[in-house]
Each structure stands twice: as structure tokens, then as C-alpha cells.
Structure 1
Amino acid sequence: MRPIEALLEIIRDEGVTRIFGNPGTTELPLMDALVEAPDLEYVLGLQEGSVVAMADGYARASRRTSFASLHVAAGVANGLIGMLNALRSRTPIVIVAGQQDRRHLVQDPMLSGDLVGLAAAATKHAVEVQHAHDLPIVLRRAFALAARPPAGPVLVSVPMDLLEEDTDVAVPARSPVSGPGAAAAGAGDAAALLAGAARPVVIAGDAVGRTGSVPELVAVAERLGAAVYHQPMNDGVDFPGGHPLYAGMLPPRNSAIHEILAGYDAALIVGCHAFMPHHYTPGPAVPDGLEIVQVDEDPAEIGRNFAVRHGLAGELAGTLAALAGHLEGRVPSARERIEHLGAVHAQVRADVEAGARAAYGPAPMDPRGAAHAVAAGLPDDAVVVEEAITAGLKLRAVLRQDRPRSYVHTVGGGLGWGIGAAVGTRLADPDRPVVAVLGDGCAMFGLQGLWSAARYRVPVAFVVMNNGEYRTLKETLDEGGGASAEHRRYIGLDLAPPALDWQSAGRLFGVDTLRAGSADELRDAVASVKDLDGPLLIEAPVSGHGADR
């Protein structure tokens, strides 16, 4: 079997049915071979950032490792933002990047470069294949490593001439790999500590949703009667948003986390990559004296940023089920706690809901009203892909999603991810409506992804929250205070004039567009996603930072 044939055989065997890519000369052997491979669909992106973002969304929604193809050093460099997002969000992707012909690499030919060096900091692993007979083994390793906890992207650099060799290579069989391991030992002692706490709290990390362990965490929380917070800037639904015990998301600042956790005497932290603060504040996130039980599928996370009393490394669902079993009947006050916390949380939600509904009005809309309109318009079973920064925080406050994988975000911080991720999400799960909520600044980084949505008629509603500015930066400056804060001027933080014309942007890429003239119109436009047969860009003009003063 020739090397290019071996590559296609292996990716088929690994469950790949779609290749996300942007081709160049080094990919010509692959593109030529795909002519005779109708079972492998090539999904074309116009820029590598969009390509990797589509692969990211596809892997998450399909719950399988996805496959992307990039072109030489420049293509890898363009795709680095997507790789960084996938690494931080722990999305399994195998990326094959074409390297220049080895026969003249010594001359530093155009397009060549250190692909492994470029990708090293943004991937779990990066390697260049030097011999044709090594390619099958390296690819098998790449798929295994990408999926192994903590999951993430793996890059394989393949010289163009290697794929063209007329060399017979052997393809090793796929080795079955079980899950992340058995349930952790020590659940009994951990349960005893939690059961003895007067004020327990649970922190739900993104590994809970990724591994399908939400029901087991709900059982633990209910048997404790403990308030449950999402980790800061959670990437998914890791606990039902409508549950009486759900207290919301921890803010991404150590001082704010410390203030909240100071009200508890014991914490169960599950599947959470530390606390990943955003803005610096002095001091630790964890108060002195807080007794911590930490559960994670990745042993490296246990005690990584704070001391724990019991660290349980193992398969999450089984470990949480064991904890729930040990907690059965050991907290007599659990039901009373649930009723009390449910009433408190219901009042908070009602206040937020009332404030958001009161903010409805014509465009430019109050961001609170616009966020609520999106949430209110969502069809049943819709998936929200969110990359909206300040508007995203308001959206989180009013969303009440219970089903895992209904909310998709990235903690990677590389802007331009949302459009491509939404396309990949809908391609992987065509039965669920997808609404992408995007900041106008974020959308500009990944605008090319709209072309792929139009080419493949992917029915996604792209809601662009258009405030014409980098609002989060203005708010961060204002948080610093100072005598001149009220009259502060902002340099380089405005996207107008000239104003971005989102209707023209959509039409440029062949996407239908509309402009929501009010919060009510925005709600109705979002509701229409269930009937789409192709992409729709919805411009939602929202009031800018100055309008709040």
C-alpha cells in the first residue's frame, strides 16, 4: 500500500468521514487521491483559522477525533489560533500539515519552515515524518494521543514527496483503547469529608460535560444538598441550568472566587482545569481552611494550584457514581438544603429575568434585552455557540440550558473561532438547530467561515451583536477608576467610523442576512433557525459603551 493510500485507510479506520482543509501544492497528492475516495468529504475553508475552528466544533459535537489538513509553514501559522483554542478546550483533532519536498529542504525553499517548532506550543504533540514506512505508525499514535485525557490537537508534518513515493508500507491495526481508566479509589473517605461539612459547595468543570458525567454529578450534589457553580467561563453545560442547586458561573477573577468560596467549609471540584482567572487580582482563589475533594480524569490536575484533602484521579462518571453511593442517606438535611437554595436561586433568576425583559426596546438594543431575546427565541434542543465577550456574559445570565452539549464556548481566547465552530457543530449534528452568538469584533477575525457555511448550505443562524467597539477593553479600563474615568478617551477601541456593514458582509459570502430592528424582532429571527435550509446572518445592533453612562 502506498503512503497516500495508507493515510486514507487509517483515517477511515479512525472514524473520519470529513476532512477540513485549505489546500496548497503540498496537499496535491491528498487532493488527487480523494477523487477516488467518495466516502471522504473534503470541507473547504478559505483560511486555516476557520478550518481548525470547524474541526473543533465537529469533534465536540460528534464526540470523535476530527481531522484537518493545513498547508506548509504559513498554513500552520494561520491555524495556530485554532490549535490553541482546541488545546485549552481539550478538543481532540489530528492535523496533517504538508511540508515542502525533502529533496531540496536544505536550500530553504519557499513555503518551507519548522512546522513542528511552530506548532509545539499550541498542540499536545507535534512531529514530522521522515520515512514513508513510519507514516502509518505516527498517524496511529496521533489519533491515540489526541483522544487520551487530557485530549487535544496533535500535528503531523508530512513532506510532499513522501506521500508521492511508490513505496509499499504496512498499516498497523487500530488498537482498541478503553476510556480514561477505572473509577478512582478513595471515594468513601472523600464522601465522609463532604457529608460532614456544614456548608458544602460543588464546582462543575468542563470535563463533566465532555465525558457525559452530568447525571452522576447531579446525584452527588442532590445527596449533599450543595450549591453548584460552573467553572469560570465554562465551555459547555456541566450542570443543568434550571436545577434548584445551580448557582451560576464563578467569575474569572481570583478575588471574586475567593469571596464566594469563603462562604463554604468544603468543596468538591470536578473536572476543572484549575480556575483559569482572566484579570489579575492579588491573592489565591481558594480561602485558607477550605477542605477540598478534587476529582479529575487527568492526574496532573490534582492539587495543581491548591492543596486538596482527597484527590481522586480516574474515570469521572464511575468515580462520581461511587461518591453518590457513599453519600446515600448520610446527609439528612439535604432535602431541606435543596429547598432553601432553590428558593434563593429562583429569586436571583427572577430578578435577572425581570431586568432583562425590562430592557427590551428598539435598535440599538440594550445588550441585556438583546441577550434575553436570543435566549427566549431559541428553538427546543438548540445548540448555542458563543463568542461574544461582554454580550456573552449577559447571555450566560439568562440561558437555562439543561442538556449537555447545548452550549459551546472556548476558553482558548483566540478570536475568530465562533463562525467556524458553529459550522462544524451543525455538520456533526444536523438534527439540532445551531445559533452562533458573536461579538462584532470576534466575528471579524473569522469572517471567512461564512463562505464555508454558504458553500455547504449549513443552516446556522449567526447573530452578530454589533456595538461598533471593543467594549470589554473599555470596561476593563474603567474598572481601574481614576478621576478622569468618566471622561476617558479610548484609543484604538472603536470599530466606527466607518461602521461595519454586516448586511454587505453576509452577501459577499453568499449568506442571507437581516437586521433586527428591536428585541422582539431578534427573538423571532432566532426562532426561525429551526426552519432554515441554509445559513442566515442576523445583525443585532446593540448600544455601545457610551450609552451606559
Structure 2
Amino acid sequence: MNGAESLVETLVDNGVDICFANPGTSEMHFLAALENPRMRSVLCLFEGVATGAADGWYRMKDKPASTLLHLGPGLANGLANIHNAKRASSGMVNIIGEHSTSHLKYDPPLTSDIEGLARPLSHWVRRADSSDTIAWDTVQAVEQASQHPGKIATLILPGDTSWREVSAQVELPKRVAAQPKVPKAPDAARIAHIARVLQSGEPTLIILANKATRGLALERAGKIAAATGARLGSQFFTARIERGAGRVPIERIPYAVGQATEFLKGFKHIITVETREPVAFFSYPDKPSLLKAEGTLVHTLVEADEDSALAFEILLDELGAAHAKPVLQQRVEVVVPQGALNPLSIAHALSAAIPENCIVVDESLTTGRESMGHTMGAKPHDLINNLGGSIGYATPVATGAALACPDRRVFCMVGDGSAMYTIQSLWTQARENLNVTTIIFANNSYAILKAEYANMGAGVPGARALSMIDIDRPSIDWQAMAKSMGVPSVSVDTAEAFHKAMADSVRTPGPVLIQVRL
């Protein structure tokens, strides 16, 4: 067994059984080791697709995937979606190929400071110096990635470590890192303080994030809201929310600063759960960075590394509300809209079309802002957003989510500007026959930037500024793009055609692209 085979064997022994790969020459021995029948290998044609897909896998499976990237430039290509994954508290194990140790002294063209590239966006970085110890390095990488919250682990694999044989006397670790990671217990005094805040009767917003927006934690948060009159909210972007009919509803803090401050001004208390107090996504002239009103008090109930479900259980006991009944979202039947496409008709078409147990990946800021409020009463589904803000996340994340949950349809909503960053995702979706409906809102513009131009006080964009925002010369042929990568497509320009295209895609296995012409 060589070092690469030892690495892959240890990954699968410890629960990491998928690798999103974009390999190069230095990784050929690792590529050979991926023949391990317990490891699923998924080829991605761009490193940002690989890292984004690993993020999507974690968000749906709550366990890390691995990636295989080629040297420093390959890592650099994947960093934007590693940034998004880190912000979403997703765990992943990145394997970065490197020149053999003896070759590095000659400074070959692809030599770079891989550690320097990795550290700002990794929680743990290590260079594997020996084939004899690489299995133990791998165990530590998986342990780091499997923490709560999830972490980014980067393991650098020199070529000679990969191809050298493991000494016969070396004992390989078995299932060391695969043990479930139990989050920290919350502080009892902090919970008692929150109980007093809630019992005060003063207007209170509980902001939920990460694991608190789903499962038992969300159900218990709903009980607390029902018992105390507190409202439940989330930041505008969240890693994953269970929502729709039959779920505990969560209000979304608006994205725009003015709307967000208006939403928050009525609360005397803000209680944070696995998140921090809300801040503006960007700074603007004459607008605040902190969105809370003056005099609003912020209290932490659950830190990022603590157990939300347990905290809510203890808090319910403190309140004497263990038997409270949460208010659940009722199903809202929406009439399929007719006529022109606009944010409202798009939202209603989406609400009517979302199938039960769908996964909705949203990167449609300009067109989709209306959608989330109008899909609260849709069939139960999961919503995934981009916490990191680096565009080009949606189609890779949708790819990873579809691999994690092959029995569920994924709706991926993305603007045309964002889609161009990682459109290679379509090829992987076709190759793996993934149930992804990619919805591209084609307004031939980075439309969000037109609004931001005004928000920044820059006035009305002139011809040169507009030329840096519009992407209509030439217009992108999305159907031709989809066809070139093996994905069937349809183009729509009315609300009823949009709904029909979504409904048709649910009935047909495999990927499809819908171009929404705006």
C-alpha cells in the first residue's frame, strides 16, 4: 500500500466516502487510489465546482466530503467557494497535490506557497511529510472537518508521499475520526438569563442559524415562540432552513439596510442562536453597519459550537413550557400565474411548482427577493443560501446537494451573471444524471450592481459604467450552453410557461435547464 492508497483508505474508514476531483500530474497516484470501491469519485471541470459541491454535500449530509485539487493554482481556483463554505460552517477535507519534495528545490513553474494560500480560509492546514504518517494526518483532517460547526481542513500531498510504500510495520488507524461529534453543552447561567428576558414580555426576536434552523432545534424554538410571544427570525442568508407547510416559520431579515433597520426597530431584545447580531452586507455612505435600533439589547443564547436543540430543551423547562405547541406554517395554495414575468409572478409560479421535499438553492438576489416570502406556504422543502457572498456558488452547491440526496429534486435559482462563474456544473450534473433543475434568470445584466450603484450614492451610471454591468453584447445563449454539456433545456418568457417548465422537470429524471427570459 502506498501513501495515496493509505490516505483514501483512511478517508473512507472515517466516513468521507466521496471525492470531488479536478486532478493533475502530481495527483496521479491519488487518482489511482480512488479505484477504492468504497470511495465515490466525481469529476468537476473547474475547481470552484469541486469545492462548491463539497459544500452542498455537507449542508445536506452533515458530514464532510473531500476534494482533490492540483497544486497551489488549483487551490486558488477553488478558494471562492471554500470561502462560502467556511461562512456556512460546512466541513470539508481538501487534498492539495504538491510536487515531490526533491523536485521543489528546482522551483518548477507550478511551485507556490500552498500553505499561504490555504491558511486564510482553512481552520487546519498540514503538509503530509511521510507515507508512514499520512493516515494519521488524514484522521486529524477528518476530525477537524467533522467538528460542530464544520471546519475546513487542508491536507497537502507531496508526490513522493503519495507514491512511496507504507512501511510494513506501520499500524493504520481505523474509524478513529468517524465517531459522532457532540456539540458543547450551552451555559446554564446564560439560559437562565434568556428565560428572564423572555418572561419580561418585551418585544423579542430570536435569530436562528446553522443547525437551529431545522430538525428538533427548530421545533423547540417554535414552542418557545408560542409560549412567550417572541418572534423567530433568520439572517437574510442562511446555510439551510427547513421551511414550507407543516414547518415552524422563520421570518427573514431583509437584505437592504433601510428595510432591515425598519424590521428590527420594534424589538427591545435580540437573542442570537449559533450566529451574531445582524450587520449590513456592505457599508454604505450615511447608513449603519449594525442593523439593530439604538437601545436594543443583544443576548447570546447559543454560541456557534454549542448544541441548539439542548439549549432550547433546557430553556423550555426554565419557562415551564415543555408542552407548548408550536404554530406551524399552513399550506397556501397558489393559483398558477398567467402573463408577464416579474418578481411577483415568478414567486407565485415557484410556490406552485415546488415539489414536496425539494431542495431550493437560491442565488437570485435581483429576481428572487420576492420569492422567499411568497414560498413560505409551499410544500415542505429545504432552502439553501450563500452566506459568503462570493457569486458562482449555486450551481456547484446544487450539484453536491443532489449527490447527497439522490431521491430529491433540487431547484437551483441563479442569475445569468452568477451562472457564468461555475457553469461547468452542468457537465457534472449530466455525467452523474443528477435531479437538478437549473433556473437561470436571464436579464443580461449584473442587475444587483445597478441597485448597488445607487445605494452607494454614485448617482446614475453612465455609458462606461453600464458597459461594466450589462452582459448583453453578446447575449449568452443558455440553451446552447446547456446542450453543449448534455443538459436538456427550455426557454420561457411567461409565468405560465415558467411554471409548466418547472413542473415538467420534476417528472423527468436527470438535469434540466430553464432559461427565464426577462
Q: Determine whether 1:295 maps to 2:294.
A: no
Output the CA distance in 2 between the equivalents of 1:289 and 1:99: 53
Residue of structure 1 in register with 2:343 after alignment? 367
Q: Determine whether 1:179 maps to 2:157.
A: no
- TM-fit CA distance, 1:227: 2.0
Deviation track 1:385-422 (CA, whole Å, cap 9, x = no partner) reads: 11122123222121216898711122112222211211
What pairs up with 1:378-397 in 2 under 5 angstroms? Answer: 378-397=354-373
- Indicate if the aligned counterparts of 1:149 and 1:297 stay in contact, CA closer than 8 A: no
- TM-fit CA distance, 1:484: 5.3
- Indicate if the aligned counterparts of 2:445 and 2:471 stay in contact, CA closer than 8 A: yes
Residue of structure 2 in register with 1:223 after alignment? 227
- Indicate if the aligned counterparts of 1:252 and 1:276 stay in contact, CA closer than 8 A: no
Output the CA distance in 1 between the equivalents of 2:462 and 2:339: 26
What pairs up with 1:148-297 in 2 under 5 angstroms? Answer: 148-168=147-167, 169-173=170-174, 174-175=176-177, 176-186=179-189, 187-209=191-213, 213-237=217-241, 240=243, 246=249, 248-252=251-255, 256-280=259-283, 281-282=287-288, 284-297=290-303
Q: Determine whether 1:125 maps to 2:124.
A: yes
- TM-fit CA distance, 1:292: 3.3
- TM-fit CA distance, 1:188: 2.7
SS at match of 1:445: coil
The answer to which of 401-410 and 437-446 deviates more is 401-410
- TM-fit CA distance, 1:172: 2.5
Output the CA distance in 2 between the equivalents of 1:25 and 1:99: 10
What pairs up with 1:327-366 in 2 under 5 angstroms? Answer: 327-328=319-320, 360-362=338-340, 365-366=341-342
Decide whether aligned partners of structure 1 residues 530 and 283 sit closer, same or farther in structure 2, where only a CA change above 3 A counts: closer
What pairs up with 1:517-532 in 2 under 5 angstroms? Answer: 517-532=493-508
Residue of structure 1 in register with 2:514 after alignment? 538
- TM-fit CA distance, 1:266: 2.3
Output the CA distance in 2 between the equivalents of 1:245 and 1:262: 23
Decide whether aligned partners of structure 1 residues 198 and 454 sit closer, same or farther in structure 2, where only a CA change above 3 A counts: same
**Runs of 5+ unmatched residues, structure 1:** 300-313, 543-549
Decide whether aligned partners of structure 1 residues 366 and 193 sit closer, same or farther in structure 2, where only a CA change above 3 A counts: closer
Residue of structure 2 in register with 1:504 after alignment? 480
Decide whether aligned partners of structure 1 residues 13 and 207 sit closer, same or farther in structure 2, where only a CA change above 3 A counts: same
- Indicate if the aligned counterparts of 1:212 and 1:404 stay in contact, CA closer than 8 A: no
Q: Determine whether 1:436 maps to 2:445.
A: no
Whichever residue aligns with residue 313 of structure 2, its letter is A
Q: Determine whether 1:19 maps to 2:23.
A: no
Residue of structure 2 in register with 1:77 after alignment? 76
Output the CA distance in 1 between the equivalents of 2:294 and 2:201: 15
SS at match of 1:107: coil
SS at match of 2:68: strand
SS at match of 2:109: coil
- TM-fit CA distance, 1:371: 3.1
Output the CA distance in 1 between the equivalents of 2:447 and 2:49: 24
Output the CA distance in 1 between the equivalents of 2:82 and 2:313: 33
Decide whether aligned partners of structure 1 residues 418 and 247 sit closer, same or farther in structure 2, where only a CA change above 3 A counts: closer
Residue of structure 1 in register with 2:88 after alignment? 89
TM-score, structure 1 as length reference: 0.85
Deviation track 1:147-196 (CA, whole Å, cap 9, x = no partner) reads: 21332221111101111112324323405353112243122332122111
- Indicate if the aligned counterparts of 2:115 and 2:125 stay in contact, CA closer than 8 A: yes
Output the CA distance in 1 between the equivalents of 2:463 and 2:31: 57
SS at match of 2:271: strand
Output the CA distance in 2 between the equivalents of 1:97 and 1:117: 13
Which one has a larger percent helix, Structure 1 or Structure 2? 1
Deviation track 1:364-386 (CA, whole Å, cap 9, x = no partner) reads: x2233223212221111111111
Output the CA distance in 1 between the equivalents of 2:400 and 2:216: 20
SS at match of 1:447: coil
Out of 446, 452, 465, the position equivalent to 1:470 is: 446
Output the CA distance in 2 between the equivalents of 1:98 and 1:247: 43
What pairs up with 1:391-470 in 2 under 5 angstroms? Answer: 391-400=367-376, 406-470=382-446
- TM-fit CA distance, 1:202: 1.8
Output the CA distance in 1 between the equivalents of 2:300 and 2:361: 29
**Runs of 5+ unmatched residues, structure 2:** none
Decide whether aligned partners of structure 1 residues 160 and 289 sit closer, same or farther in structure 2, where only a CA change above 3 A counts: same
Residue of structure 2 in register with 1:307 after alignment? none
- TM-fit CA distance, 1:128: 1.4
- RMSD over aligned CA atoms reads 3.0
Decide whether aligned partners of structure 1 residues 284 and 61 sit closer, same or farther in structure 2, where only a CA change above 3 A counts: closer
Deviation track 1:94-139 (CA, whole Å, cap 9, x = no partner) reads: 0101101111101111222111111111222222122223312221
Q: Determine whether 1:7 maps to 2:10.
A: no
Identity %: 26
